Chains A and B, each alone.
Chain A
Amino acid sequence: MDYSIKIGGEAGQGIQTIGDILSHIFAKAGYHVFTHQDYESRIRGGHNFYQIRISDKPITASRSKIDILVALDKDSILQHKEELTQQGQVLYDSAYLKEKFSNANFIDVPFLELALTQGGSKLMANTVAVGAVIGMLGMNPKIMFEHIEKTFKKKGEEIINSNLRSAEAGYKYAKEKCLTCSFMVSGFESPKMLITGNEAIGAGAIASGLKFYSAYPMTPSTGIFNFVSDHAKDFEIIVEQAEDEIAAVNMAIGASFAGVRAMTGTSGGGFALMVEGISLAGMTETPLVIALAQRPGPATGLPTKTEQADLFFALFAGHGEFPKVLFAPGTPEEAFFLTNKAFDLAERYQITVIILTDQYLADSQWSYEKFNLSNLKYKDYRLKGEEFKRLKEYKRHTFTETGVSPLGIPGNSFHLVITDSDEHDEEGHITEEAFIRNKMVEKRLFKKLPLIQKEIEPPKLYGTKEPEILLLCWGSTYGIVREVVDELSKSYRVSMLHFSEIFPFPEEKSWLHLLRKANLVINIEQNATSQFAKLFRMETGIKIEKHINRFDGRPFTVDELLERVYEQIR
C-alpha cells in the first residue's frame, strides 16, 4: 500500500481541517503517514493544498503522483490533474465547482447537500469529504467515527452526532459511486503518533525543562510558540509575546541570566533583529536556545514557503568572535532530540545554540511508533542553593581549565553575579586591559570550542558503506534524499551523508574517506548558492563540484530529485 491524497482549494475552505482529520485517522489505523502543506500568505482565497501519503512501510517524503484528489475548487483540478496516477480519482462537488465532469474517474459527491440534509449545516461539508475519502479507499469506518467523536468531544452531543451522520453519508455515497476505485488498504495496526517539526521542537524544549519562551509571531516559527503556549499551564512555563524580536531575545537572555531555561523562536526577518542579542549572549556567556524556521528571503520573501538559505546568516550571526552551535534536524524525531541536546549544550557551555528548520519540516507531519524517551538528557549545570552559599568567593567569569565558569544564579546567595556586554574581568566588571581581553577570548573561544566539538555527532550515512555515488545533504531534505537513495539503490551503490549537527564540524572525521572513495559526490540544497557545500569546504578543505539546488520555495519531491540526480549520473 502506498497512496497519496491531495486536498486542494482556496484558503479558508477547510483544507487543513480535512487534511488533519484524515491524517489522524490514518495514523490511528497504524499506517505510516507523511503529510506536507503548501499554502499562501493569506487567510482567504489563493491556491493551497495539503498532501497526505500513507503506506504500510516507513515513508519519509511526499511523492509527485497522487491517487485521490479532493478538489474544493476548479483551480485544484486544473493545477493537479496531471499528477494523478492511472487509477487516480478526483472527488469534487459540482455544486461547489459549478461544473460537471464526465470523466469516469471524477466522482461528483454532493458535499454541501449531504452536509445540509444529514448534518443540518453546510459547515459539515468538510466532514462529508473526509467520509468520502475513507469510503473510496474502502477502509473500515470504525476509526473515522472514533476520531470524529474525540475531535468534537468538547462541542457536545449534537455536534458530534451531526458530524457522524455527515461522515457516514459521505462514506456511503463515495463507496457506492466509485465504480473504478480499486484501492487496497492494509489492516489496522497499533496506532502511531503523528507530529510536525514545529511540535517536535516545542515538545523537545518542554522535555528539556523549558521555563520561559518569548517570541514575536512569524511564519513558519509560530507553530512552536503556539505549541508551547498550549502547554504553558500544564508544564508551568511563561510564554511572553514580546513587542519585537529584539525584546524577545533580550527577555530570553534575562530569564536565562536569572536562572531558568529560556528559548525564543523566529524566522529570517525576526532573526535579523535578534542578531545583536546573540552577540550579547556570547559576551555575557548566557545560555540561549533559538529556533530559526527558515523561509525564502530576502526581506519578506515568500512568507509561507520553504528554503535553506539562512545557514550562513545563522553561522555568522553576531558581531565579534564567540562559539555557537548550529543544528539542522532532518525529521521531527531528530528535532525533538536535538532540541534536547541544544538545551544541554547551551547550559553546559554557556553558549547560544540555534536550531535551523524551515517551513517544510516545520509543517510536515511524520508518523512514529514512539520516541525513545530514555535518550533524553537533563542535567542542571547551575550553581545554586547550599553549594553556591558555601563558596568563599565567587566570580561569574572566573578563568578555569575548561573555559567554563560556574553559572551562579543572582539573588541565590550573598555572592554577586555580575556580567557585562563590555569586555569584562573575571568578576564581570568592565575593563579594557589587553591582558584580560586576551585571556577572556581564550576562555570563551579557544578553551570551550574543542570541548564543544567533541560533543558533536558525525553525519549519518544511509545506504551502502562503500558508495560509488554519495549524496550530501543537511537539515530538512533528509526524508526526500533518503527515498531517492532507496530508488537508486536498485541500480547503483549509492548512499546519503546527512548532516544535522552542522556546526562546529565534529572532531571525529573518519567519514571523510567516503567522499574520497566515491566516484560521484552530489551536494543537494534547498537554496541557490550551496551554502552548506561552502561551509563543508571551510571545515574540510574539500570542494564539491556537483550541485542540485532548488530555490522556488517549494520542497523537492522524490520523483523530481530523482530525475535531477539521473541527469548528473548520465
Chain B
Amino acid sequence: MNKLDKFKGIQPAWCPGCGNFSILKAFNEAMDELGLEPHDFVIVSGIGQAGKFPHYTRCNTFNGLHGRTLPVATGIKLANHKLRVFAVAGDGDCYGEGGNHLVHAIRRNIDVKLFVHDNQIYGLTKGQASPTTMKGIVTKTQPFGVFSEQFNPLSLAIALNCSFVARAFAGDITHLKEIIKSAINHKGFSLVDILQPCVSFNKINTFEWYKERVYYLPADYDPTDRVKAFEKSLEWEDRIPLGIIYLNKRPTYEELIPIIREKTLLEQEPLIHRIGDLLAKFY
C-alpha cells in the first residue's frame, strides 16, 4: 500500500494539467511527513476549483459558500482549538468575495492556515478577471482590459501584521510541500499564496511565465523584518520571490480567550444547572 493512499479522495474533476494537481500532491505528502491522519484536521473550503480540494484528499470537510471559508474556519477553531483547521480558497473566493473576512482573520490571528490557489483568473465561471489579474488583461467581462490595480495579498497581509506570510509555486512540489509544513508548524494565522497556472483560462500567466520569473529567497533573508518584507512583497513584474516572506510571534486569538485556556469550548459541559443563579439576578 502506498503511504499516501489514506489521503486518496474522490476522482478530481479538474482540467488535465491543472496546477491544482501538484498542490494536492504536495499537501498529501506534507500531511504524511507531518504524521497527520485524515481525522486530525478539517479543511474548510469555498467555491471555485480550489473549493473542491477537500473532496480530493481525505479529511473532515466543510465545503461552504463562496468567500466564506474564513468565518466558518474561525467558528470551528474557536469551538475546538485542538482540531487543526485549514482553509483552502481561490483568489476570487478569498481576495474578492471574502476580502473583508481575510482582513479580519489576519487581525484576529486565529490559528487557521489559509492556502490560496492563486491562478489570477476565475476558472469555475470560465475566465473572468480576478482581483489578482494583472492590469490591462482583456477577458470576457473586462472587454477593455482590467483597469483596477492588481490585488497584492502579501503586502496587505504584512500591512496587517499577519503572523505568517508565504508564497509558493505549484510548479515546485518539493518547495511547496515545505512551505505547507512550515505554515502548519507555525502558531497563528498563516497565509500561503500559491501561484497556480490555469491551463484553460489564463493564457498569460502560464507555467513558463511563472518559471521565468520565480526565484527562492536566499538563506540569509530575514522574514522577521517587517519593512524589508513589505519591500519584498512588492516584487512582481520581472522577479517573483518564493518562500516565507514575513513572520512574527503574535499570540493567537484562542490563547487570549481566558475561558478556553484549560479546555476547548467543545470539552466544556454546558452549565445549565446554574441557570437558577442567572435568573436570581432579575429580582
Residues on A lying within 8 angstroms of B by beta carbon are 27-28, 191-195, 199, 203, 206-212, 214, 231-238, 240, 242-244, 246-262, 276-277, 280, 284, 370-371, 373, 376, 378, 409-411, 413-422, 428-430
List the 5 shortest-distance A-B pairs measured between CB atoms, nearest first: A254-B75, A209-B270, A250-B71, A258-B79, A410-B60
Residue B52 lies at the interface, judged by CB distance under 8 Å to chain A: yes
27 pairs, CB–CB < 8 Å, chain A vs chain B: A27-B283, A192-B283, A209-B272, A231-B278, A232-B259, A236-B265, A237-B259, A247-B68, A250-B75, A251-B72, A253-B75, A254-B44, A254-B73, A255-B78, A257-B75, A257-B76, A258-B83, A260-B266, A284-B62, A409-B266, A410-B42, A416-B39, A416-B60, A418-B54, A420-B63, A421-B64, A422-B63
Are B275 and A251 in contact, CB atoms less than 8 angstroms apart? no
B48 to chain A, nearest CB (A): 12
Contact residue among B39, B71, B282 (Cβ-Cβ distance under 8 Å from A254): B71
Knowing A28-B283, A260-B79, A411-B39 are in contact, say whether A280-B64 is a contact too (CB < 8 A).
Answer: yes
A243: chain B residues within 8 A (beta carbon): 100-101, 103-104
A95 to chain B, nearest CB (A): 36
Residue B138 lies at the interface, judged by CB distance under 8 Å to chain A: no
A260: chain B residues within 8 A (beta carbon): 79-80, 265-266
A232 to chain B, nearest CB (A): 7
Chain B residues numbered 237-283 whose CB sits less than 8 Å from any CB in chain A:
257-260, 265-266, 268, 270-272, 274-276, 278-279, 282-283
B276: chain A residues within 8 A (beta carbon): 373
Residue B139 lies at the interface, judged by CB distance under 8 Å to chain A: no
Knowing A257-B76, A378-B270 are in contact, say whether A244-B39 is a contact too (CB < 8 A).
Answer: no
A263 to chain B, nearest CB (A): 12
Cα-based distance from A233 to B260 in the complex (angstroms): 10
Cα-based distance from A261 to B58 in the complex (angstroms): 26
Smallest CB-CB separation from A207: which chain B residue? B275
B59: chain A residues within 8 A (beta carbon): 416
Q: A257-B62, A280-B68, A416-B59 are in contact. List 7 more A-B contacts (CB 8 A).
A: A234-B271, A237-B259, A238-B78, A247-B70, A416-B61, A417-B61, A419-B62
Are A411 and B82 in contact, CB atoms less than 8 angstroms apart? yes
Residue B38 lies at the interface, judged by CB distance under 8 Å to chain A: yes
A268 to chain B, nearest CB (A): 20
A211: chain B residues within 8 A (beta carbon): 79, 265-266, 268, 270
Contact residue among A195, A240, A255, A373 (Cβ-Cβ distance under 8 Å from B282): A195
B270: chain A residues within 8 A (beta carbon): 208-211, 261, 378
Knowing A207-B272, A411-B42, A411-B82 are in contact, say whether A242-B71 is a contact too (CB < 8 A).
Answer: yes
B52: chain A residues within 8 A (beta carbon): 430
Contact residue among A199, A255, A416, A429 (Cβ-Cβ distance under 8 Å from B10): A429
A246: chain B residues within 8 A (beta carbon): 68, 71, 101
Are A244 and B282 in contact, CB atoms less than 8 angstroms apart? no
B47: chain A residues within 8 A (beta carbon): 421
Smallest CB-CB separation from A230: which chain B residue? B281
Considering only CB atoms and an 8 Å cut-off, how many residues of chain B contact the other chain?
Answer: 55
A277: chain B residues within 8 A (beta carbon): 65, 68
B133: chain A residues within 8 A (beta carbon): none
Contact residue among A233, A242, A413, A419 (Cβ-Cβ distance under 8 Å from B39): A413
Are B38 and A250 in contact, CB atoms less than 8 angstroms apart? no
B275 to chain A, nearest CB (A): 4
Residue B40 lies at the interface, judged by CB distance under 8 Å to chain A: yes
B9 to chain A, nearest CB (A): 8
Knowing A207-B272, A410-B42, A417-B60 are in contact, say whether A258-B266 is a contact too (CB < 8 A).
Answer: yes
Are A251 and B74 in contact, CB atoms less than 8 angstroms apart? yes
B74: chain A residues within 8 A (beta carbon): 240, 247, 251, 254
Cα-based distance from A203 to B47 in the complex (angstroms): 37
Cα-based distance from A206 to B38 in the complex (angstroms): 34
Residues on B lying within 8 angstroms of A by beta carbon are 10, 37-42, 44, 47, 52, 54-55, 58-65, 68, 70-80, 82-83, 100-101, 103-104, 257-260, 265-266, 268, 270-272, 274-276, 278-279, 282-283
B88 to chain A, nearest CB (A): 13
A214: chain B residues within 8 A (beta carbon): 75
Are B80 and A258 in contact, CB atoms less than 8 angstroms apart? yes
B132 to chain A, nearest CB (A): 22
A284: chain B residues within 8 A (beta carbon): 62, 64
Smallest CB-CB separation from B81: which chain A residue? A258
Contact residue among B40, B101, B271, B279 (Cβ-Cβ distance under 8 Å from A235): B271
B190 to chain A, nearest CB (A): 18
Smallest CB-CB separation from A238: which chain B residue? B78
A418: chain B residues within 8 A (beta carbon): 54-55, 60-61
Smallest CB-CB separation from A214: which chain B residue? B75
Are A251 and B75 in contact, CB atoms less than 8 angstroms apart? yes
Smallest CB-CB separation from B253: which chain A residue? A240
Are B278 and A378 in contact, CB atoms less than 8 angstroms apart? no
Cα-based distance from A232 to B41 in the complex (angstroms): 28
Most chain B beta carbons < 10 A, residue from A194, A237, A256, A430: A430
B272: chain A residues within 8 A (beta carbon): 206-209, 376, 378
Contact residue among B10, B76, B103, B275 (Cβ-Cβ distance under 8 Å from A373): B275
Cα-based distance from A209 to B83 in the complex (angstroms): 21
Knowing A192-B283, A257-B62, A378-B270 are in contact, say whether A203-B71 is a contact too (CB < 8 A).
Answer: no
A422: chain B residues within 8 A (beta carbon): 63
Cα-based distance from A261 to B72 in the complex (angstroms): 14
Cα-based distance from A487 to B241 in the complex (angstroms): 80
Cα-based distance from A420 to B74 in the complex (angstroms): 17
Cα-based distance from A260 to B40 in the complex (angstroms): 18
A216 to chain B, nearest CB (A): 11
Knowing A411-B39, A429-B55, A430-B55 are in contact, say whether A212-B275 is a contact too (CB < 8 A).
Answer: no
A231: chain B residues within 8 A (beta carbon): 278
B62: chain A residues within 8 A (beta carbon): 254, 257, 284, 419
Are A411 and B72 in contact, CB atoms less than 8 angstroms apart? no
Are B283 and A193 in contact, CB atoms less than 8 angstroms apart? yes
B224 to chain A, nearest CB (A): 28
Knowing A236-B259, A257-B72, A373-B275 are in contact, say whether A419-B266 is a contact too (CB < 8 A).
Answer: no
B266: chain A residues within 8 A (beta carbon): 211, 258-260, 409
Most chain A beta carbons < 10 A, residue from B10, B41, B271, B274: B271
B274 to chain A, nearest CB (A): 7
Are B101 and A247 in contact, CB atoms less than 8 angstroms apart? yes
B101: chain A residues within 8 A (beta carbon): 243, 246-247
Contact residue among A191, A236, A255, A419 (Cβ-Cβ distance under 8 Å from B63): A419
Smallest CB-CB separation from A419: which chain B residue? B62
Knowing A247-B101, A259-B266, A415-B39 are in contact, say whether A212-B75 is a contact too (CB < 8 A).
Answer: yes
A247: chain B residues within 8 A (beta carbon): 68, 70-71, 74, 100-101, 104
A152 to chain B, nearest CB (A): 17
Smallest CB-CB separation from A279: which chain B residue? B65
B54: chain A residues within 8 A (beta carbon): 418
Knowing A238-B257, A413-B39 are in contact, say whether A255-B71 is a contact too (CB < 8 A).
Answer: no
A234 to chain B, nearest CB (A): 7
B12 to chain A, nearest CB (A): 11
Are B274 and A411 in contact, CB atoms less than 8 angstroms apart? no
